[in-house]
Amino acid sequence: MEKINRRTFMQSVAAAAAVSAVPEAEAKPEGSGPVFLSTWPHGKPANERAAEVFKSGGSLLDAVEKGINVPESDPNVMSVGYGGLPNADGVVSLDAGIMDGTRHRAGAVCALEGIKNPISVARLVLERTRHTTMAGEGALRFALEMGFHTEQLLTPKSLERWMQWKATPNHETFWITPDNHDTIGMVATDGRGHMVAGCSTSGLEWKIPGRVADSPLVGLGYFADDNAGAASATGDGDLMSNYCTSVSIVHLMARGASPQEACAEILKQMVKTIPANKDGECAVIAMNNRGEIGTASMNAKFHLKYALWRNAESQLLDSVVLY
């Protein structure tokens, strides 16, 4: 299995080398239309909002930011923004990041409390500062200076879940056995080779206060480069952080892998280094600068459903399962 896929991948690298001799205009067809690709069922309304924003004249960055605002603001999405499950202290601590593939610049916030749309604060880190990532107290002060207001992000439902967890004997075993997480990751193109990626999460439920994983960190939870494509990751960020998944996928695409090959390749690399990673909760999505897409889940236990918006059609589909 490994050998065949490896060979297929190498053939695609050779094929891509041939493609790179094709004139630019043929490699990136003008006006093929925007494409939005997101993780999980909550990615579908997010894509639809993003497409709407883009259609009404917003930039691709506006589209991704406003699209991600949808699950962030939805109290029923318990892994992102308002209503996201809290940390061990019962505090909702949010992470988000967004990257512009033209400027090759990202903005991100980590461990932000009391602000339900962290992707919008991340966008302002990108637009208004020379920094890339801001964390905790400083990120909150920045958000307040930018006009955001704090609010209680716990909902009756998420508070109840936290209280149930607190009442469980030996509840701290969560520190070694993660359970809930379903970040929103979105990758997008304008159909003319411009790429944007974004990611927003409340992170692992009951996490140790201060924990930051892959989602807000550029290259880990998301990455975009107009020269190749964009990618995002979801799942056990403590595990995936060690593999810099999103930037690795984009670099594989830059070397000629298709988005599907690149997604499969990074998860296989994880298993090659540590075979037990086969049971890990890991999934990735990718899109190249021609709007072709790829998705992969490590195993059937953590099976990513992804949302795709293309040619005015909005779909929810099953990713490829590797092991």
Extract the tokens encoding 319: 């990713």
Distance CA 175, CA 155 (A): 23
Neighbours of 210 (CB within 10 A): 11
State which of residues 50, 112, 126, 204 lies at the interface with ligand ASP (CB under 6 A). 204
Nearer to ligand ASP, 213 or 224 (CB): 213
Number of residues that bind ligand ASP (CB under 6 A): 14
Q: Looking at 129, 133, 155, 183, which residue is catalytic? A: 183
Is 129 an active-site residue? no
306 backbone φψ class: left, alpha, beta (φ>0; ψ -120 to 50):
beta
User: Shortest CA distance to 287 belongs to which of 31, 23, 34?
Assistant: 34
H or E element that contains 12: helix 2-19
DSSP string over 139-171: HHHHHHHTT--------HHHHHHHHHHHHSTTG
**Residue 234 sits in the site that holds ligand ASP (CB under 6 A):** yes
Question: Least distance to ligand ASP from the beta carbon of 77, Å?
Answer: 11
Site string for ligand ASP, 148-187 (x = CB under 6 A): ---------------------------------xxx----
Asked if 219 is part of the footprint of ligand ASP (rule: CB under 6 A), the reply reads no
Residue 294's nearest CA partner among 265, 269, 255 is 265
Q: Is 109 in the site for ligand ASP (CB under 6 A)?
A: no
The closest of 274, 297, 287 to 182, measured between CA atoms, is: 297
Closer Cβ to ligand ASP, 235 or 294, answer by number? 235
DSSP H or E stretch at residue 296: strand 293-297
| Site mask for ligand ASP (CB under 6 A), range 56-95, x = bound | -----------------------x----------------
From residue 241 to residue 260, the character string flagging contacts with ligand ASP as x (rule: CB under 6 A) and all else as - is: --------------------
Among residues 87, 117, 215, 295, the one that binds ligand ASP under rule CB under 6 A:
215
Check binding of 213 to ligand ASP (CB under 6 A): yes
Sheet strands side by side (includes 133-135): 133-135, 105-113, 93-100, 195-201, 184-189, 35-39, 305-310, 313-318
Q: Strands 305-310 and 222-225, how do they pair?
A: unpaired
Q: How far is the CB of 214 from ligand ASP (least distance, A)?
A: 5
CA dist., res. 215 & res. 217, Å (int): 6
Q: Decide if residue 200 touches ligand ASP (CB under 6 A).
A: no
Residue 15 Cβ, how far from ligand ASP at the closest point, in Å? 32
Does 101 engage in binding with ligand ASP (CB under 6 A)?
no
Interface region with ligand ASP, contact rule CB under 6 A, candidates 3-11, 55-63, 213-221, 222-230: 213-221
Distance (Å, whole) CA 176 – CA 305: 25
201 in contact with ligand ASP (CB under 6 A): yes
By the criterion CB under 6 A, which residues form the site for ligand ASP? 79, 181-183, 201, 203-204, 213-215, 234-237
Catalytic residues: 183
